[in-house]
């Protein structure tokens, strides 16, 4: 196990796939990161030396990529702000209904029934 940015990564897995375990780092961003740092896509996590790990951390800080708890906190506060402003999306979050335009005639009834008694935030 290799410990990078408060997350344990399997040392036998490929670097490309193990870096996507970070919340906020997807496939495309990891591809860009590894290209910029000249780290091979087929390299394993156990093959990374201390310099490569430091370069990964500096790349994330330099490009101002928000990951893990900071991103979760930002999303939470954005949703809370929408709820407090009583926007359409905020009210959909409060009522437990689909937010992004999905249909509600035949789908999403279970979610709204479960949350009908838990309505709060208005």
Residue 15, number of CB atoms within 10 A of its CB: 24
The whole-angstrom separation of Cα 65 and Cα 77 is: 18
Counting the structural domains of the chain, the total is: 2
pLDDT digits (tens, 9 = 90+) for 39-85: 999 999 999 999 999 999 999 999 999 999 999 999 999 999 999 99
Residues 57 and 87 in one domain: no
Looking at the structure, tell me whether residues 90 and 110 fall in a common domain. yes
Residue 101 and residue 51 share a domain: no
Least confident range from 20-29, 71-80, 107-116: namely 107-116
In degrees, rounded to 5, the angle at the alpha carbon of residue 94 between the alpha carbons of residues 85 and 65 is: 70
Q: Are residues 52 and 77 in the same domain?
A: no
Residues of the domain holding 104: 68-118
Whether 75 and 58 share a structural domain: no
Domain shared by 52 and 72, yes or no? no
| Residues 78 and 112 occupy one common structural domain | yes
């Amino acid at each position: 196990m290799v410990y990078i940015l408060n997350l344990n990564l399997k040392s036998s897995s490929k670097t490309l796939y193990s870096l996507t375990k970070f919340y906020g780092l997807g496939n495309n961003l990891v591809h860009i990161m590894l290209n910029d740092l000249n780290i091979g896509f087929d390299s394993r996590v156990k093959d990374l030396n201390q310099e490569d790990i430091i370069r990964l951390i500096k790349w994330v800080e330099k490009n101002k990529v928000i990951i893990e708890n900071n991103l979760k906190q930002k999303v939470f506060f954005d949703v809370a702000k929408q709820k407090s402003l009583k926007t359409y999306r905020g009210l959909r979050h409060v009522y437990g209904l689909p937010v992004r335009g999905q249909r509600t005639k035949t789908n999403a009834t279970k979610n709204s029934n479960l949350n009908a008694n838990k309505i709060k935030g208005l």
